Amino acid sequence: MSGVKRVLVVDDEARVVDALGRSLRSERRYWSVTTATSGAQAVELLEAEPFDAILTDMLMPGMDGVELLGWARERRPETLRIVLSGHTGPELALRTLPVAHQFRSKPCNGAELKSTIARGLMFHDLVDDPVLRRAVGHVAALPSPSRTTDRLPALLDDATTPVDTIAGALVEDVAATAKLLQIVNSSFFGLPVAGQAGVSTAVRYLGVECLRAIFLEGGLLLPPAGAAADGAALATLARHSLLVATVARELTSDRSMADAAFAAGLVHAIGRLVLAAELPDDFVSVPEDGDEPPEVRGATVNQLGASLLAMWGLPQPIVEAVARNHMAPLIAGSADGPVVEITDAVYLADVLVRSFDRDRNLPASFQDELVTFGLTDRLPGLEALMARTADGMQDDHALRRVS
């Protein structure tokens, strides 16, 4: 395929598609824009040829946006699906969430739209294989461990549950955390796009009512399924992810990065969930031996996970941290002392958590990096933190500590 991406713009108002086409014209070297003024016309175009992205209105006479995207999810799952709607509201959000990757409210300026499409399409740089692209694009929800599916409904139904307890339960679940971050970084519920990485903040931002709608009524909380049907692998993954998130947050040298480091840690292994749900034969649980991330169809599980997060519109630093995990750090400190960026923090945390779980012996090759980042003295403290966090997951009363 040539380097020019094909973008399909759909709106029943001809003036809107005309103007969107013009507004994207300046990117003509990278994108070619095709327009349709009804869901049926869009389906016809999609049947004839693949597109890289669809940008569609929601309420249209005849086939509406939800139906169009539902069709595209089944038939052209590799196409990035973005809604641009003048209507918002909980009811619409719940119908849209299972079929759309991202949501923007009208009026939305040209610059924001361009950046939304461009960042979403970065998933192409992360996975090239058509089977993988279809798998990632098809994901609506990912399986959660039974610990979450057992507990979350009761917590959300109880009006007296403190917000922090709900946030604490959500961060123990990779799938729910990723969904939450997807929602707050789009305007599904008509709220402004937040560029938000904080899980607790996201929970407050959406409100318990909204969370209940999403996870209980919206059917976006899936029980263990596919390759992870026994649930044990999901529980292991959840525990590993929370430990990495907690350590990564501790390691960032700048508090402003703490939320993003924590979020990136929580979702860093989400590529494995994509495999569990969409390509069960290729599923690999954690922790696997060796420092090289498993590869599937020419992409690492990290790249696969990052490609999902890119499609879902998560903040760029999180996507990057997940994509580059398992790679040698980019920045190795500065003259002023060690600088630990989000990507480094997740990488270092991942290695530390693996060795903590294995035999507490760090790989020899890692000693240099410990020195570079000035971590040698901090090892006992970090080990204690990991132990506390792991214990906390056994103990419901300790949940508040992790939020």
Residues that bind other proteins (CB under 8 A): 13, 15-16, 18-20, 22-23, 25-26, 28, 59, 61-62, 84, 86-87, 106-111
CB of 11 to other proteins, least distance (A): 8
- 199 close to 185: Cβ distance less than 8 angstroms: no
Our CB check for other proteins shows the closer of 89 and 363 to be 89
| Sequence letter at residue 403 | S
Our CB check for other proteins shows the closer of 165 and 186 to be 186
CB of 93 to other proteins, least distance (A): 15
The packing angle between helices 174-184 and 163-170, to 10°, is 120
The alpha carbon of residue 389 and the mean position of all alpha carbons in its chain are separated, in whole angstroms, by: 23
CA distance 82 to 9: 10
In three-state secondary structure terms, 54 is strand
Our CB check for other proteins shows the closer of 53 and 311 to be 53
Our CB check for other proteins shows the closer of 4 and 59 to be 59
In three-state secondary structure terms, 390 is helix
CB of 112 to other proteins, least distance (A): 11
In three-state secondary structure terms, 85 is strand
Our CB check for other proteins shows the closer of 67 and 164 to be 67
Our CB check for other proteins shows the closer of 25 and 360 to be 25
CA within 13 Å, CB half, 308: 33
CA distance 176 to 173: 6
CB of 105 to other proteins, least distance (A): 8
Dihedral sign for Cα 29, 31, 34, 35, please.
negative
CB of 32 to other proteins, least distance (A): 12
Our CB check for other proteins shows the closer of 101 and 104 to be 104
CB of 187 to other proteins, least distance (A): 13
CB of 218 to other proteins, least distance (A): 19
Do β-strands 53-56 and 102-105 pair in parallel, antiparallel, or remain unpaired?
Answer: unpaired
CA distance 205 to 211: 10
| Sequence letter at residue 97 | L
- 175 close to 92: Cβ distance less than 8 angstroms: no
CA distance 350 to 244: 5
| Sequence letter at residue 329 | P
CB of 113 to other proteins, least distance (A): 8
